[in-house]
Amino acid sequence: MLRMMAGVGGALMLTAGLAQAQDGNALLGMSWDEIVETARGGEVNVFMWGGADNINAYVSDYVGGLLEEDYDIALNRVPLTDTAEAVNIVLGEVEAGAAAGAVDMIWINGENFRTMKQADLAWCGYVDKLPNAALVNFDNPAIANDFGTPVDGCEVPWSRVQFAFAHDTARTPEPPRAIPELLAWAAANPGRFTYPAPPDFTGAAFVRHVFTHVAGGADALVGPFDQAKFDEVAERTWDILNELEPHLWREGRTYPTSITQLQQMFANQEVDLFFTYDPAEVGTAVVNGIFPETARSYGLSDGTLANTNYMVIPVNAANKAAALVLQNLLLSGEAQLEKAQPEIWGAATVIEPDRASEKVQAGFAALERHPSVVSIEELGQAALPELQADWTSAIEDGWIANVGN
Amino acid sequence: MIGRGHPWASLAPALCVIAVLFGGGLALGLAGSFGAGRGGGWSFEAWIAVLSEGRVWRSLALSLWIALASTALACGLGLGAALLLRRSFPGQGLARLLFQINLTIPHAVGALGILWLLSQSGFLARLAGGAGLIDGPARFPALTQDHFAIGIIAHYVWKEVPFIGLILLANMHSLGDDPEAAARSHGATPFAAMRLVLLPLLMPALIRAGAIVFAFSFGAWEVPVLLGQSAPPALPVLAWQRFTDPDLAARPEAMAIAMLIALVSALLIRAAFAGRGR
Amino acid sequence: MNGRLRAALGLALIAALVAPLVPLGLWSVARGWFYPQILPATWTLEPWARAFAPRSDIPGALMTTTLIALAASALALALGIPAGRALGLYRFRGKALVELALLAPVIVPGIAVGLGIHGVFLRLGLTNSALGVVLVHLVPTLPYVIFVMSGVFSNYDAEAEAQARSLGARPLQVLWHVMLPAIAPGVMVAGLFAFLVSWSQYILTLTIGGGRVVTLPLLLYAQAGAGRNDQAGVLAMLSLAPGLVILALVARQIGGRGMAFGGTR
């Protein structure tokens, strides 16, 4: 048996050895056409959060279909429940010295990207090679910085999202529309509001809204982490959230553990407010029968956080050429427009539509949104930049230590 | 028994597989908890951080509570169910069949079922609402994601009562009616015959099965992640949180917590067997 | 205990065993079934249709889960029958230690081992592959097979083998005509357990399969985690299937006590 296992292991390592990771530097020396020819007939393994049917279908069917048709490249979408799982895979591989990694692309942003960049797990410097990169305004600070971490050509933007709240117009016709109003509303409606406990991504974002409000606006928190500033703002934030606690669901003795739990509680009328970092989700939930037709998403007058999400290619990706072709395809005007269609996904684009073809421009101009989804323009009037990753992790840890115990 | 001899050839393959997969896993987990493979050499940092963190101890206490309560209830109710099922009654066949079916159900399925049954807006809450007993989800008692881990324990009891019950039934079957009948013929009441004769005979099997239940309910992630509260989380959930933390420095801590789970589980089970006085 | 009380308790037991399955089954044929609806307002087979639509992940996952469970239980039997025979038939020095080593994976929680096993498999090049998942499923399945088989062999009369040999039977003939018929029911039970234990694995499949090997439990957590209760309900119902099929097939052969050795974990 041992011999058999050693044999199997050996055979696998042999094949892994043959399929050497494509040398990134060699690719960077090629023309785009040469890169496409190198990629043709291969495969690309995309690791991404897999919890939404419509997003999965867009990637597998639409993008995968184009990739197959135009380049004879097979797209394997690998569903994750947590993006960190993919980062862990890459890290483990690099630590073990595996040359041809299993992961060719990860849907990523924020702390996970910072981790990859700091640990030199991201492949950088290829963005100029992508013809469709011309459609993107890389000077826009919201695109050049991923949660405050400079992108530096180590990842390519895919979509923009902005935090929004949601209510049921039949149940709560007048929801609070600013953070101070929300705090007062929660106190006046005991048990009808709560938020998922960080480290849940969306719950942590809610806490950042309160933190930003206490700091007196996003401008006060721009830039690198500042311990003195943090201590001052944090203390007041924890006070506010601890004072809020007795008015929350179950008197704040516990919090939902995930955004999905909050979504289910909103659907079951256990609470009256929902929030999400992707307002298009509210429309999807209505379509899927999870939320009533009377559900509506909305923004806050004092602004909501916005961020960009990206696609990163790991430094040890086995199929870098195919990954480049995919990056380029994802940025194309057509693919970005398809993704923005409300019945497909309703995701906000990262390209400048006026740099795309006229047909694409007309398509963006004609976009209709699901009636339950707040318009991107309305939301965008008060968009707050995301805090740097050092801030966000300090806020998360602080909440866990001071509020969520 | 064939007798003495050295059947190592038959044992070697299984031992090798367990040694590589299980032993290797434990060894690397242990090495990881000392920070090996992270470029910085060996250190006790993760262990010091984990053992000096109040949250870890609270999680440990919660997991111990979950495991002890689940094991005690499953053993008690499993014994009761076995005693019930060994005599015939209308529906006995169905109950036995359900017992067996329950054994085959994955924990994930059971935990989701318990969540949708017991939560404050779950099936029971809706029945109570329909009957006019409560006027909103908040009025229904908090049985899931609650402070006392009632939902988690309910799941383990639901899943493990058939497990324990069937083991005891098999043992009762092989013991036959003789021991109790003998006691009865010497004038013991049915209850005394059960307690003084049958129970001691079943004890070894019950302890063995109980140990398995304890180990599983102490170390499983699948159930508390669906049914648990936010703070403190069950120890395995905390370990997984650290393992998937974007901050890579948290990984040695995840390994240390995982080793803590293995250690506590092994020690307690050893104590249980030692306490049996063999 | 009188008959009526026994019947009442029996009924309570049946109700408690079935209760958690009720909402799962209802969700698989419902749309938007939320508080305060006691029963779904909209009944639909759409979740099932969607589950078996051309682009669904579920049929593939059903196949993957079944094949992995078959392979893992076959391997566990191949390794576990000889080991069970050794433990059931022989007394030897260090036996207690060997027993402890072989059964330890039942006692040490999966997560404690799983995080470390990932490193072992990475070095062997076995992560992200179905083969790796099959091998890692040996950790929880093998101890059960050994546990069951050592019990079977401790009641096995090895004298029959000696007699067959003295009558001129070759080793393979002895194995096939003497040992196998005697232990067949036990092998069946052990194989069933191994199959079901593998069928239910989540965390080991996720860590070793790296999300590339998609089994039913992975989809179940993904759909439940995305709030798609209807799809999760379908997956839950599908997860019950092998247990029911196996029980129907073998209920007669192994009777009520055959299943009394382990659970699915």
Say if the Cβ atoms of C122 and A92 lie within 8 Å.
Answer: yes
Report, as an integer, the average pLDDT of B218-222: 93
Which tens digits make up the pLDDT trace of C213-262?
Answer: 999 999 999 889 888 999 999 999 999 988 888 777 766 554 444 443 43
- Helical ranges in B119-228 per DSSP H: 123-130, 150-175, 178-185, 190-193, 199-219, 222-227
The helix (run of H) or strand (run of E) holding residue A384 is strand A383-385
Minimal C-alpha gap between B176 and chain C (Å)? 13
Alpha-carbon distance of B19 to C241, in angstroms, equals 33
Residue B129 token pair: 């609402």
Give me the domains of chain A, ranges plus CATH numbers. 24-157+308-368 (3.40.190.10), 162-306+380-402 (3.40.190.10)
CA distance B127 to B249: 48
The sign of the dihedral angle between the CA atoms of B99, B101, B107, B108 is negative
Lowest mean pLDDT among A88-102, A182-196, A260-274: A88-102
Q: Which residue of C has its CA nearest to A47?
A: C211
| Average pLDDT of the segment spanning B30-46 | 78
> pLDDT at residue A369 above 90?
no
- Check whether B172 has a pLDDT greater than 90: no
Written as one string, the DSSP assignment of B162-189 is HHHHHHHHHHHHHH-SHHHHHHHHTT--
| Highest mean pLDDT: which range of B121-125, B245-249, C117-121 | B121-125
Site from B98, B115, B116 to mutate, C interface, most C CB atoms within 10 angstroms: B116
The model's confidence at residue A18, banded by pLDDT at 50, 70 and 90, is very low
B237 to chain A: closest CA residue: A257
Length of chain A, please?
405
Lowest-confidence segment of A34-48, A153-167, A206-220, C181-195 by average pLDDT? C181-195
**Paired tokens of C60:** 């593939």
Categorize the per-residue pLDDT at B36 as very low, low, confident or very high, splitting at 50, 70 and 90.
Answer: low
Task: Please give the mean pLDDT across all residues of chain C.
Answer: 87
Domains and CATH numbers, chain B: 31-91+161-275 (1.10.3720.10)
Model pLDDT, residue C253? 52
Is A86's Cβ below 8 Å from some Cβ in C?
Answer: yes
Radius of gyration (C-alpha) of chain A in whole angstroms: 22
Mean pLDDT of B70-78: 97
pLDDT tens per residue across span C136-189: 999 999 998 998 899 889 888 888 888 888 888 888 888 888 888 889 888 988
What are phi and psi for residue A105, nearest 5 degrees? -160, 145
Average pLDDT, chain A: 90
Q: What is the pLDDT of residues A49-107, one digit of tens each?
A: 887 888 989 999 999 999 999 999 999 998 887 888 889 888 878 887 767 888 999 99
Question: Nearest Cα to B214, choosing from B138, B141, B276, B157?
Answer: B157
Verify whether the Cβ–Cβ distance A84 to B228 is below 8 Å: no
Report the pLDDT value the prediction gives residue B38, as an integer from 0 to 100: 54
What domains can you pick out in chain C, each with its CATH number?
Answer: 55-254 (1.10.3720.10)
At CA C183, angle to CA C179 and CA C185, rounded to 5? 150
Say what the pLDDT of residue C56 is.
Answer: 84
The pLDDT confidence band at residue A7, using thresholds 50, 70 and 90, is very low
Per-residue DSSP letter, A65: H
DSSP label of A276:
E
A17 has a pLDDT exceeding 50:
no
Tell me the pLDDT tens digit for each residue of C187-218.
988 998 899 999 999 989 988 887 779 999 99
- Chain C contact probe: residue of A171, A258, A288 with most C CBs at under 10 A: A288
Q: Is B127 on the interface with C (CB under 8 A)?
A: yes
pLDDT band at A301 (very low <50, low <70, confident <90, very high): very high
For the whole model, what pTM was predicted?
A: 0.88
- Of A319, B183, B173, residue with least CA distance to C254: B173
Mean pLDDT of B247-268: 89
C-alpha distances in Å from residue C39, one per residue of B4, B45, C234: 64, 54, 17
Least confident of A163-167, B190-194, C168-172: B190-194
* Predicted local distance difference test score (pLDDT) of residue C242: 86
C-alpha distances in angstroms, A92 versus A80, A273, B84, B131, B243? Answer: 17, 40, 52, 55, 12
Whole-number pLDDT of residue A334 = 96
Mean local confidence (pLDDT), B28-44: 78
**Mean pLDDT value of segment B124-132:** 96
Partners of B251 on chain A (C-beta within 8 Å) are 88
Is pLDDT at B156 greater than 90 in this prediction?
Answer: yes
Q: How far is A212 from chain C (nearest CA, A)?
A: 28
Average pLDDT over residues A349-364: 94
Residue B29 to residue C91, Cβ atoms within 8 A? no
Q: Which tens digits make up the pLDDT trace of B98-127?
A: 888 888 899 999 999 999 999 999 999 999
Share above pLDDT 90 across residues of chain A, in percent, rounded to a whole number: 70
Q: For residue A276, give every residue at least 6 positions away whose Cβ sits within 8 Å of its Cβ, in sequence order, or none.
A: A163, A164, A166, A202, A259, A282, A297
B260 has a pLDDT exceeding 80 = yes
Distances A99 to A21, A48, A354, C122 between C-alpha atoms, Å: 6, 22, 41, 12
Between A74 and C107, the more confident residue is A74
Q: What is the pLDDT of residue C250?
A: 66
Nearest to A286 by CA among A267, A299, A270: A267
Query: What is the pLDDT at residue A401?
Result: 93
ipTM surpassing 0.85: yes
B71, B86, B109, B257: best to mutate for the C interface, most C CBs within 10 A: B109
Q: How confident is the model at residue C2 (pLDDT cuts 50, 70, 90)?
A: confident
Residue A140, pLDDT > 50, answer yes
